[in-house]
Amino acid sequence: MIGRILFLLLAVAVLAGLLYLQEPESSNPAATPAQAAAPEPGFVALSAQIIETGDNGQPLYTLDAQRISQPTPEGTIYLTSPVLHYEPPGAKPWVLTAQQGQLPQSAQNADLSGMVDARGIPQGSQRMIHFRTSTLHVDMQKQLATTPAVVHIDWGGSLVSGRGMHADLKSGEVELFHAVNGTILR
């Protein structure tokens, strides 16, 4: 009986000694390779707004979205339900909406997708142009909107559709490339 008690005390003492000599991982100042290679966290913002200003300090665009996320600090910015109020210098404002969108880190352009709707009055025109498509690339520095997808345009009652578009948002010049069809009112 005493032998068993001594054996049990010796086993507990050895276990306690091993636990005491073992260094906890949190006190180890040297990071493991997996920890050292871990990327910095990005951000997520809900019901957020981004305001980008031009060289003159005035807003170039205001972007509202249900969700704005950037998984890595210098990566792509992802948008959910974006509403882009685009105010190019020397031109009238545009409003673009979509289900999703992406901006590169530089935020010089935007790729919108899912029920894209764009409205604005081109410079020199009195009539609003409204176009709907499934995808749209907007170069905010050059003030250009392009898509390879089908586009439906309503420009002051003139209805035109086609596949593939190049639109100069400042001048109002719009080119459709394929399967162009519509009614133009004068």
- Using only C-alpha atoms, the chain has a radius of gyration, in whole angstroms, of 29
Number of helices (H), then strands (E), in the chain: 2, 11
Asked if 111 contacts 101 with a C-beta cutoff of 8 angstroms, the reply is yes
Q: Quote the pLDDT of residue 66.
A: 96
Closest among 80, 72, 52, 90 to 170, alpha carbons compared: 90
For the chain, 186 residues long, the average pLDDT of each consecutive 10-residue run is 56 57 55 58 86 81 91 89 84 90 86 94 84 93 91 91 89 87 82
| Alpha-carbon gap, residue 46 to 125, rounded angstroms | 37
Angle at 56 between CA 50 and CA 60, to 5 degrees: 35
Residue 25 confidence (pLDDT): 52
What is the pLDDT, as a whole number, of residue 7? 54
